[in-house]
Structure 1
């Protein structure tokens, strides 16, 4: 058993060592370099700032979502209330803004967004509905908007305080 493990380990090390050989030779025995030089970028390279020292350049012509407000506070609401708010934004970029999706952190919050492109300089609206059924106390929900902007996601938020349900608890006594 130990012999099989030792053999497998030696085989793995041999294969790794053979795969790490940096020089290739042609049939005449001449050595040819197959790696790209530092000054020549690879054809299919992906610029990833987490892996390289490269800076990610932003697209100057990309659409930009500029909201009039990033968060809305509904204040105190009654239990079971359904409240709505409209977030207004303007495309302050140089190309049409296309929203591909908008989602909330909870199924109790439903966003509606424009399906047509928003032209540069034009305004758009995102309607958000919050259903407080089954919720109590302080609530905070984030809506993530995916669009052809840089960065590709934008976030807006709602918050509220759901008052105690007096009908379920009965009147409060003070002593």
Structure 2
């Protein structure tokens, strides 16, 4: 009987350890800047919660071009804790449509996560209220 109980405990402990994992839950995986004026604030934030049961460590965050600068959290995000990834788009020097990808590398159950930003930066003198052609 003792052997069966010990085996059962070892199996349960093994299963619990195998399921231990960090996990992202983003508020949104796409940020829409909408239509913004040239030179306006280009900073946006992807907010997330670690819904896993291990600390979440983001090792790197990359964008598809130099006009988009992402910033990762410094330390681990504990289970149940919130974190954010800041993204700054260059609205001063880039006009036109915004379609960029942000790639997040981590120890999460999904180790490579793709986030997106979209929108449009208007030309100098163009109003947000004007209809674009």
TM-score interval (norm. to shorter): 0.7 to 0.9
Answering whether residue 64 of structure 2 is matched by residue 105 of structure 1, we say: yes
- Structure 1 residue matching 2:42: 3-state secondary structure: strand
CA displacement at 1:141 relative to structure 2: 1.0
**Which aligned runs of 4 or more in structure 1 are off by greater than 3 angstroms?**
none
Superposed CA offset, 1:20-76 (max 9, x none): xxxxxxxxxxxxxxxxxxxxxxxxxxxxxxxxxxxxxxx521100110111111111
CA displacement at 1:134 relative to structure 2: 3.3
Partner of 2:53: 94
If each structure's strand is expressed as a fraction of its own residues, which one has the higher value? 2
Partner of 1:41: none
Task: List alignment gaps of at least 5 residues for structure 2.
Answer: 1-17, 127-133
CA displacement at 1:156 relative to structure 2: 1.3
Q: 1:158 is matched with which residue: 83, 102, 117?
A: 117
Q: State the distance in 2 between where 1:129 and 1:136 align.
A: 14
* TM value normalised by structure 2: 0.75
Q: 1:126 is matched with which residue: 68, 74, 85?
A: 85
Partner of 1:138: 97
- Structure 1 residue matching 2:83: 3-state secondary structure: strand
Superposed CA offset, 1:59-101 (max 9, x none): 5211001101111111111223341111110001111100000
Task: List alignment gaps of at least 5 residues for structure 1.
Answer: 1-58, 168-175
* TM value normalised by structure 1: 0.58
Count of residue pairs the alignment pairs up: 109
Q: State the distance in 1 between where 2:98 and 2:73 align.
A: 26
Superposed CA offset, 1:111-143 (max 9, x none): 111121111111111111111233222111111
Q: State the distance in 2 between where 1:111 and 1:139 align.
A: 15
Q: State the distance in 2 between where 1:87 and 1:127 align.
A: 6
Q: State the distance in 2 between where 1:164 and 1:111 align.
A: 24
